[in-house]
Amino acid sequence: VSARAAAGNAKPRCWRIPSDEVVVNAMGLNNEGAEAIAEKLRSLKVEGHQGRPVGVNIAKTHDPNILGAAAVEDFATSFRLLAPLADFVVLNVSCPNTTEGKTFEEPAALAELLGAVGRTRKALAEKVPVLVKLMATADDQAGRQTQRELLQVIEDAGFVEGLVISNTVKNPEAKLSKKGREEANAIGKGGVSGRVIHKRSVAAIRSAYQATGGRL
């Protein structure tokens, strides 16, 4: 869910590559927006249909013009509207919806975002658990160092209770077969999920657990 409604990218925006058992998606965060989803969640509570835990995954609105402080406020707006209606909230900081393709997976940007969400959370009466969704960093020394830096920022925020690992990986980073790479290159931009990122995702989960001593 994002603060503003978004139609998403033009179709087709999701593809299968059967030879590599992967999916490439460039959905563009199509959703009805935080206010509309909040109204639906309120209706579920009133009607007594909310018998299972409800988690809300929020991301920045799919608009390349929302940058910097406006992007942080976009996240905070969604959190303010939806956190009181959820059993837990996931901050999807690894979804690139800006012109330059940047995410909040940079220490300074992540610290600014978590600071704003933390202040918003403090102002709310209900202290809903918060998790942060990260991509699987590369399973090498540089990737683990990047992950450690982000985890330090997350722990320093003082209120995050867990992680969601992992998001998709960028198309060019996926290690596909020759045939699979040809198909992926023809598709172009998008996030890759499936068998090809399993090993990388498991490694990222392991290294995050080790880096935080199981605290997250």
- Cα separation, 141 vs 147, in Å, equals 10
The CA distance from 53 to 116, in Å, is 25
> What is the rounded CA–CA span in Å between residue 144 and residue 151?
10
pLDDT above 80: residue 75: yes
- pLDDT tens, residue by residue, 120-147: 999 997 789 999 999 999 899 999 999 9
Q: Is the pLDDT of residue 216 over 80?
A: yes
pLDDT tens figures, 169-207: 989 999 999 999 999 999 998 999 999 999 999 999 999
Q: What percent of the chain has pLDDT over 70?
A: 94
The reported pLDDT for the residue numbered 108 is: 95
Q: Alpha helices, DSSP H only, in the chain?
A: 34-47, 68-82, 107-123, 141-157, 178-187, 198-212
CB-based contact 59:28 (threshold 8 Å): no
Phi, psi of 170 (to 5 degrees): -65, 145
Give every CB contact of residue 66 below 8 A, 6+ residues apart in sequence. 60, 74, 97, 98
* CB contact set of 189 (below 8 Å; sequence gap of 6+): 26, 171
Given a contact cutoff of 8 angstroms between Cβ atoms, the answer to whether 136 and 105 are in contact is no
pTM of the model: 0.91
